[in-house]
């Protein structure tokens, strides 16, 4: 089988590997589609904490190729999607119901592959059967969408709130849609006209092209009553300077949700009066939990978002580098790898 392996920044290779054989409780999925993601771009450009080489990619959907002993949840030929991780439910954080901070998570790497081995823990917790009326592309949105579902639950967004979403990449657009569905008034900020138009389609009442304003925070504030600022400001870019901008546009007593991951060692300066006298809350959020994965899958079945709005160009697995570089330009939302 063909599988994409990561070796070093800007060094990924399509290699031939044996089709995996599932062990106790495991399954093997024959992938039908895989999706590119901002995290894939970051890993491609600057590496990750795992020691290379490692299999690459984390968003895919397909059909069951083989099942290991003891698997009764699915059978060969079933259409399925597996999330890319599962917590242990035994560590300190899991016992505190903070599953996204699990000390012993298991990750499901290797979505950019013709066949993919799914670990027992993920099969047990985060494997879902795809309805006949759901496309594989739609199902493959599960991982990023579950992260946005988790993020909105951590704020939380209430009906009537004014929410600014900074960054209209895949996750940012999912935040736009979820906040709109919760009854919020959404202000979307980005420099890409096409992404801003998609944000408007997904429910943003106002858009701010940051390349056309001198002060992004001020431009957002002017869209709020008495220039007070937004109730919730979401950072979905992964740049420390945008974290600072997000803090400057929130009202006294408001909340800043920092979702975008920045490079290790990045620092953000905070005006302490915002925390003390203005009583703002700065909330970090990472990844997701099994509960929110399940909620996200139900929302995907309800077509709360559509793959038609998120998935742009199709590539073969041998074109994986081209697909990632195309994604990195910011001119598409996601690209899709199609398997025969």
Q: Distance from CA of residue 135 to its chain's centroid? A: 19
Q: Within the chain, what is the greatest distance between any pair of CA atoms?
A: 64
Give the closest residue to 332 by CA, choosing from 207, 322, 140.
Answer: 322
What digits encode the pLDDT tens for the residues 89-112?
Answer: 999 999 999 999 999 999 988 999
- CB atoms near residue 218 (< 10 Å): 12
- Residue 124 confidence (pLDDT): 98
Domain boundaries, the chain: 2-141+305-338, 152-284
Homologous superfamily (CATH) of 2-141+305-338 is Medium-chain alcohol dehydrogenases, catalytic domain (3.90.180.10)
Give the pair of three-digit tokens for residue 229.
Answer: 């600022």
Averaged pLDDT, 230-250: 96
pTM value is: 0.95
Same fold, 2-141+305-338 and 152-284: no
Q: Are 73 and 102 in contact (CB under 8 A)?
A: no
What digits encode the pLDDT tens for the residues 258-295?
Answer: 999 888 889 999 989 889 999 999 999 999 999 999 99
Give the closest residue to 127 by CA, choosing from 75, 179, 176.
Answer: 75
User: Cα–Cα distance between 225 and 215 in angstroms, integer?
Assistant: 18
Q: Are 257 and 154 in contact (CB under 8 A)?
A: yes
Phi-psi region of 203 (alpha: psi -120 to 50; beta: other; left: phi over 0): left
Q: What is the CATH number of domain 152-284?
A: 3.40.50.720
Of 42-56, 86-100, 137-151, the range with the lowest mean pLDDT is: 42-56
pLDDT over 90 at 49, yes or no: no
Of 174-183, 202-211, 322-331, the range with the lowest mean pLDDT is: 322-331
């Amino acid at each position: 089988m063909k599988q994409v392996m990561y070796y070093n920044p800007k060094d990924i290779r399509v290699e031939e590997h044996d089709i995996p054989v599932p062990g106790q409780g495991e399954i093997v999925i024959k992938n039908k589609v895989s999706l590119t993601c901002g995290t894939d771009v970051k890993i491609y450009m600057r590496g990750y904490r795992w020691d290379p080489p490692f299999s690459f990619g984390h968003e895919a959907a397909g059909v069951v190729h083989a099942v290991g002993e003891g698997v009764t949840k699915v059978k060969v030929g079933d259409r399925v999607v597996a999330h890319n991780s599962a917590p242990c439910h035994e560590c300190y954080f899991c016992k505190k119901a903070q599953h996204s901070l699990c000390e012993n998570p298991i990750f499901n790497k290797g979505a950019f592959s013709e066949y993919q081995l799914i670990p027992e823990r993920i099969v047990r917790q985060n494997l879902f059967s795809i309805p006949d009326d759901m496309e594989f592309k739609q199902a493959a949105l599960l991982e990023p969408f579950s992260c946005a579902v988790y993020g909105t639950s951590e704020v939380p967004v209430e009906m009537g709130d004014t929410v600014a979403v900074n960054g209209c990449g895949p996750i940012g657009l999912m935040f736009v849609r979820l906040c709109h569905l919760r009854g919020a008034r959404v202000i979307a900020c980005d420099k890409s006209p096409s992404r801003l138009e998609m944000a408007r389609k997904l429910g943003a009442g106002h858009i701010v092209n940051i390349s056309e304003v001198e002060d992004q925070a001020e431009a957002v504030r002017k869209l709020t009553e008495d220039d007070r600022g937004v109730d919730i400001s979401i950072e979905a870019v992964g740049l420390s300077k945008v974290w600072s901008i997000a803090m400057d546009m929130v009202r006294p007593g408001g909340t800043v949700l920092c979702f975008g991951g920045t490079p290790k060692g990045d620092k953000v300066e905070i005006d302490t009066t915002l925390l003390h006298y203005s009583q703002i809350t700065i909330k970090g959020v990472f990844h997701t939990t099994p509960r929110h994965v399940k909620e996200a899958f139900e929302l995907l079945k309800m077509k709360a978002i559509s793959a038609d709005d998120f998935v742009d160009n199709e590539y073969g697995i041998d074109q994986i580098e081209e697909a990632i570089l195309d994604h990195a330009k910011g001119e598409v939302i996601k690209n899709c790898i199609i398997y025969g």
